[in-house]
Amino acid sequence: MKDVCGALLAVTLWVSVASFRHHYRNNSELNTLLNDMETSHSHLARVYSIGKSVKETDLKVIQLSGPNVSIGTPHVKLVGNIHGNEPLGRELLLRLADYLISGYESGDDEAMAILDKMYVHILPTMNPDGFAEALEGECVNGPGRRNANEKDLNRDFPSHKYPSDTMDPVQPETAAIMEWMYKYPFVMSAAIHGGALVANYPYDVAKTKGSRAPEDHKTEDNDMFRAMAFNYAEEHGHMADSKECPDSNDQHKFDRGTTNGAAWYSFTGSMGDYNYDYHGCLELTLELSCCKYPGDHELEKHWNDNKKALLSFLKYSQQGVKGVIYNGTDEPVSKAAVSIYGRKQVHYSTENGEYWILLLPGKYWLEVEKFEKKIFRKITVPDSPFDNPLILNLDLATAAAEDYPQPSDFEPEQDNTGDFLMVGVDRKDAQEYEEIHEAMVNERKNMNEDERYDDETLPYPGDSRAADTYRLNSFICIICSIFSLLFCK
Ligand SMILES: [Zn+2]
């Protein structure tokens, strides 16, 4: 009898999750739904709390992944409702969780591929107290934007650039996000807002201190950020259309539904800047509805607009290079500094020796540093990494047996010479070290000109409209050349 009751309960929960209904859930309904998803699909879902809001509501996360994920699987996070009066993200993220779970259970190829290749951590609401004050249908400036201490959580994070502007103790919701990020090595993230229709990427903080003028402020990973933002806008139902929010003064400023944060308007203490500067995590700020708090009859339409874009966004977690750092055959190395030559961002390997760096297709120099050893490895990031990711495991012990590199080692025709080691470069070796670096800088310059995606001019993967224009331009160019060869003196 007990078994029958258990089975009936499981079926009831499964049916309640399977028939997802769009409406705004209050905070306790939201947390109940997350718990139900975990109970009925415990092999795919795990629910945990990252802390509490000012009014003691649990900030609950649902983590989704296939049952067979292993070491090297990247972690991605999605955060909704940081501004309490912008709640579309709450419901979109719940629907996404439901879609991935039910898709996995029914054998849907895309849902299975996603959950077998990444951990998706979903925090539907970061500001439950603000949401409790907000009013459905308030499109511009309704109550509930801030938390219960009247603080704007997207102005509350520490800032590398202007630490003195963010010296106050952070809010409990902010602290919860910061602790969460020290616990999990998130590679990428999205935070969902409302009030515009745009994919916004860091930096949000002004380049020139005190400046109010909109001004592009790029990170060194601007190429990757732009690719992710363009892809979201293209895959979304309407984002790339500048006429979408007719009452907005800003929509015409956006570049096909994307913008650099500071180029739109600048401010200090954003969550996106914190993700990048403190953790090397690439976070997009997704503004997903012209109205901040659209009516619940519009939720189905918004899901249909965003479903493809959200699924496509998650796949970027496989883009770039990943692997495990070892020291000897089985011993993983934690806290090895992994970086891309020419970019300041340093990624530290996890306790399991894992590292991930998101990169567009192209050639790069990967640097790994630990125990006063430095390894350089030339890598080529492939074009379709979701099906064929670049996995590069490196062994510091083997590398120790290698000779010192010579500048000629960095010639392009000697791509596959393996790892290069530089052990505690001393004064005697300084000259050689300089030469090697000069060779590497020249190599990077050549790559920038000839081989790599150019940040401003060439199209990105997924940027189909730009790619079509590029192909058309190339075709016209060839026709013009043939014509001039035949007919011009
Ligand atoms: Zn917002």
- Chain segment 303-334, per-residue pLDDT in tens: 999 999 999 999 999 999 999 999 887 889 99
Q: Is the ipTM of this complex over 0.90?
A: yes
Compute the distance from residue 82 Cα to the ligand 1 centre, in Å: 7
pLDDT of residue 160: 80
Compute the distance from residue 134 Cα to the ligand 1 centre, in Å: 13
Of 30-39, 66-75, 399-408, minimum mean pLDDT range: 399-408
Mean pLDDT calculated for residue range 390-394: 93
Strand partners, 123: 79
> What's the CATH class of domain 320-451?
mainly beta
CA 34 to each of CA 145, 191, 369: distance values in angstroms, whole numbers, following the listed order: 24, 19, 41
Tokens of 365: 């120099």
Compute the distance from residue 173 Cα to the ligand 1 centre, in Å: 15
Compute how many other C-beta atoms are within 10 angstroms of the C-beta atom of residue 143: 13
Compute the distance from residue 83 Cα to the ligand 1 centre, in Å: 5
Catalytic residues: 287
Is the model's pLDDT at 132 over the cut of 90? yes
Is the model's pLDDT at 388 over the cut of 90? no
Compute the distance from residue 400 Cα to the ligand 1 centre, in Å: 50
Compute the distance from residue 6 Cα to the ligand 1 centre, in Å: 42
Domain boundaries, the chain: 18-318, 320-451, 461-489
Indicate the pLDDT class of residue 162, thresholds 50, 70 and 90.
confident
* Per-residue pLDDT tens over the stretch 214-236: 899 999 999 999 999 999 999 99
Higher pLDDT among residues 395 and 439, named by residue: 395
Higher pLDDT among residues 182 and 388, named by residue: 182
CATH placement of domain 18-318: 3.40.630.10
Indicate the pLDDT class of residue 484, thresholds 50, 70 and 90.
very low
Compute the distance from residue 156 Cα to the ligand 1 centre, in Å: 13
